[in-house]
Structure 1
């Protein structure tokens, strides 16, 4: 079951992510950081959310350059594998004698033992931001937002606040973000459920999708 979470809970999730990460994706600021930054309505309390506040201050310091950030480059395969820097098998240049075979077996056993005791890691999560377009300027966006928030899924957490952005001819769209567990929530299913409010909704687009 999903709920509309408070700003505090939303910030808590992000604070946990930035405890071990400097940026949303990659090793430098990117468009992913810009999108998450824009979702936050204000600077987080550094005493309560120190890691999120550090990241926020870092991105805010870019000023107008935020809009010019580029997409993050895909990390090298070697950087994605946990414990990559551990030399399990020794140097390729070393002679493969009996003693080296013994050392390799010992290292491999120790490595597997550590992996086994770690257990499953935290569920993979993403932040997805939707642009929801109404049919006409007279559409009650407050009512539409309430309808969107009635959508409940296990692993779905709606952000507390949503934004209004003008399209044309007096029509405004809703931009609303949510944190989802990737294994439990499909963005396609979520989009279809929003589109099901067809008396209010003309279309739904994914404005941003960032892995957390």
Structure 2
């Protein structure tokens, strides 16, 4: 579903209702549709639009840590690269070590060491990309008498550094039994998917088993 305007209360309420059981504008992972919709908001929405505020902060986090998937952006209309860019590329190609065949003076050695130090400092300041995954879990109950709302509440009590819970829904599996399908986003270096599923299965009064329905790298 595409949203072209979020300027008034009516449009924000409609968007908030849309996000009640969804984490993204389209599909199970962040996409161009989320970034296009984000541009319609000049600032963070009020707390009364709880689902929009959750979505806004989540999509904003991809911009801050530079780990969001590549989205088509406006392409440059000029064909000539700016002079400053050429100068930067020339600086990156500076020979930091000089020639072995030339005897260095003290000044030349000092300049080389300063450039090497500046290069290492510049390299060390580059932000580290954070690898993330979007996961959809199928949490199956014991029978049709299992309290599914209580089950979801228990699942969402699980807190891990690098884990963010998303939207959920009940999916019929037959004989009046529903399974809980719930989304989450995890930082790969911090969250073990095996540990997460085992922790959910520890709620033995509610959970019979846990399966991974979808797993996508972000």
TM-score between both structures, scaled by the size of structure 2: 0.50
Q: Tell me, which stretches of 5 or more residues in structure 2 are unaligned? A: 1-49, 74-88, 95-100, 103-112
Count, aligned residues? 147
CA gap of 1:115–1:134, structure 2 versus 1, over 3 A, is same
Counterpart among 155, 175, 178 of residue 162 in structure 2: 155
Decide whether aligned partners of structure 1 residues 11 and 166 sit closer, same or farther in structure 2, where only a CA change above 3 A counts: farther
Structure 1 counterpart SS, 2:200: helix
Match of 2:186 in 1: 180
Matches within 5 A, 1:1-212: 7=51, 8-17=53-62, 111-116=119-124, 118=125, 120-121=127-128, 123-159=130-166, 161-212=167-218
Structure 1 gap ranges (5+): 1-5, 29-53, 55-84, 91-96, 99-104
1:163 Cα deviation from its structure 2 partner: 0.7
| Alpha-carbon spacing, 1:120–1:141, altered in 2? closer, same or farther (3 Å) | same
Q: Structure 1 residues 162, 187: CA separation in 2 closer, same or farther (over 3 Å shift)?
A: same
Aligned CA-pair RMSD? 4.1
8 Å contact from structure 2 (residues 135, 184) kept in 1:
yes
Q: Which has the larger radius of gyration?
A: 2
Q: What displacement does 1:182 show? A: 2.0
Contact 1:88 1:107 (8 Å CA) reproduced: no
> 1:143 deviation in Å?
0.8
Task: Give the ranges of 4+ consecutive aligned residues of structure 1 lying more than 3 Å apart after TM superposition.
Answer: 18-21, 24-28, 85-90, 105-113
Greater relative CO, 1 or 2 (CA 8 Å, sep 6+)? 1
